[in-house]
Amino acid sequence: MKTKDIMARLQAKYPGESEYLQAVQEVLESIEEVYNQHPEFEKAKIVERMVEPDRIFSFRVTWVDDKGEVQTNTGYRIQFNSAIGPYKGGLRFHRAVTPSMLKFLGFEQTFKNALTTLPMGGAKGGSDFDPKGKTDEEIMRFCQAFMLELWQCIGPDQDIPAGDVGVGGREIGYLYGMYKKLAREYNTGVLTGKGATWGGSILRPEATGFGALYFTQNLLHHAGKDIKGCRVAISGFGNVAWGACTKALELGAKVVAISGPDGVCEIPDGITKEMIDYMLVMRASNRDRVEDMATRFPDKARFTAAKKAWSVKCDIALPCAFQNELSEDDAKELKENGCWCCCEVSNMGCQPGAIHFFQHNGILFAPGKAVNAGGVATSGLEMTQNAEHISWSGKEVDEKLHFIMNNIHEQCVKFGTQPDGSVDYVKGANIAGFMKVAQAMLEQGTI
């Protein structure tokens, strides 16, 4: 297998699908050497099969807004790979959603889910619906209209969606309500991220952020460092950033910045519990403005418009917002600002130039598919609880999550340790995830 040849074919076939091509290129580059040591993979054309989704559903979603006007969006579900379990992955509601974006996310999800050690295949879905400025009633009507089509593609042993950007507990509630009505199935295991009183796992909302910090702790320990007292810059203020802030504070780190599409809030003395709680209010308002934090806490947070979290002096950077949010220039600025570690929490949050810069300038770096896998891992734990009709305590879920994140870190070290003793976490995560999926595909024959 030659990455160059496969990429040339995909570029010709899917011109303009830049996010998808970027994600495939990153994985293929890092697995090429190992892949070529396995002629059985080459014979079964594993890579050629793995880069194509199993199937893509696309549908029209029509709903009525509060003014009585008819609105039409496009919905998607991309079932990417089922080699190690039923399709599993989130739904993203964002104005920029395209098939390319969801293909990249579904592809990444396949390897991420493999890393969790739980039996879950990869999928992703969503819509170009923009939740910004929408009322609760509009969100509900959209979710119901979306499920009117989606329900036929999913099932607790078939495909299990969850949240992602723009889809949280409220949206999962509306989606599940409509699913029940249409399918006449009362199995809560069809969606994860549900409310805690009706099948949701305790700690699922916190899980992505908590897992990211457990991974970061592991990475720092491996490098002989400690997170206590470190200054942490975080982008975003949604669910993932909220969980990351909560755990960072608990572990004794100081969160000195959070950001939004409007700019950055610098918090010189570190974020407080009260401010973290306020992030939930900001998210529920659908205003999508981080400036609201500085308005609410003027003596603690200083807002600067059109600046990123990476402009603030820090030790550790945690991108928690959107793909490609951290450019090579941002990486250089971070280094100048004293940053020595970046753990990518958003999916593909760093541009290739930024990753290259980190890796060649002594900055510890780990990719999203390893760092943020705690979210989907806890979804897997939610599925287990649903299947057994039981509910575990927060302590039990947290212990299992912690164990899984330690295991993911170990897999990265196993497959990513370089001759000089350093760990290439990109390589480690990609090879570990890939080997598991490739082996399963091989054992299941040419399908």
Question: Does 375 participate in binding ligand GLU (rule CB under 6 A)?
Answer: yes
Determine which residue in the list 77, 88, 254, 300 makes contact with ligand GLU, applying CB under 6 A: 88
Q: Least CB distance from residue 98 to ligand GLU, whole Å?
A: 17
The residues that are catalytic are: 124
At its nearest, how many Å lie between ligand GLU and the CB of residue 48?
Answer: 25
DSSP string, 379-398: HHHHHHHHHHT----HHHHH
Longest CA–CA span in the chain (Å) reads: 64
Question: Considering beta carbons, is residue 30 or 379 the nearer one to ligand GLU?
Answer: 379
Residues that bind ligand GLU (rule: CB under 6 A) add up to a total of 10
Q: Which of 79, 82, 110, 192 is close enough to bind ligand GLU by CB under 6 A?
A: 192
For position 164 contacting ligand GLU by CB under 6 A, the verdict is yes
Q: How far is CA 23 from CA 48, 213, 349, 428, 447, in A?
A: 15, 24, 11, 16, 24
Q: How many CA atoms, within 13 angstroms, populate the side-chain half-sphere of residue 137?
A: 5
- Any contact of residue 162 with ligand GLU (CB under 6 A)? yes
From the CB of 214, what's the least distance to ligand GLU, in Å? 15
In terms of CB distance, is 212 or 431 closer to ligand GLU?
Answer: 212
Does 205 help bind ligand GLU (rule: CB under 6 A)? no
Q: Compute the least distance from the CB of residue 387 to ligand GLU, in Å.
A: 15
| Contact characters 340-359, ligand GLU, x per CB under 6 A | -------x------------
- Centre a 10 Å sphere on the Cβ of residue 374 and count the other Cβ atoms it contains: 29
Q: From its phi and psi, is residue 21 left (phi > 0), alpha (psi between -120 and 50) or beta?
A: alpha
Q: Which of 53, 75, 85, 89 binds ligand GLU (CB under 6 A)?
A: 89
Complex with ligand GLU: residue 238 or 263, whichever CB lies closer: 238
**Site track 40-79 with ligand GLU (rule: CB under 6 A), x = hit:** ----------------------------------------
Q: Minimum CB separation from ligand GLU for residue 347, in Å? A: 6
Are the CB atoms for 265 and 257 separated by under 8 Å? yes
Residue 435 has phi, psi (to 5 degrees) of -60, -40
Q: How far is CA 155 from CA 151, 179, 183, 386, in A?
A: 8, 10, 9, 13
> What backbone phi and psi angles, to 5 degrees, belong to 257?
-155, 140
User: What is the Cα–Cα distance from 351 to 310, expressed in whole angstroms?
Assistant: 14
Beta strand 122-127 with 70-81 is antiparallel
* Nearest approach, Cβ of residue 121 and ligand GLU (Å): 11
Q: Which residues bind ligand GLU (CB under 6 A)?
A: 88-90, 162, 164, 192, 347, 375-376, 379
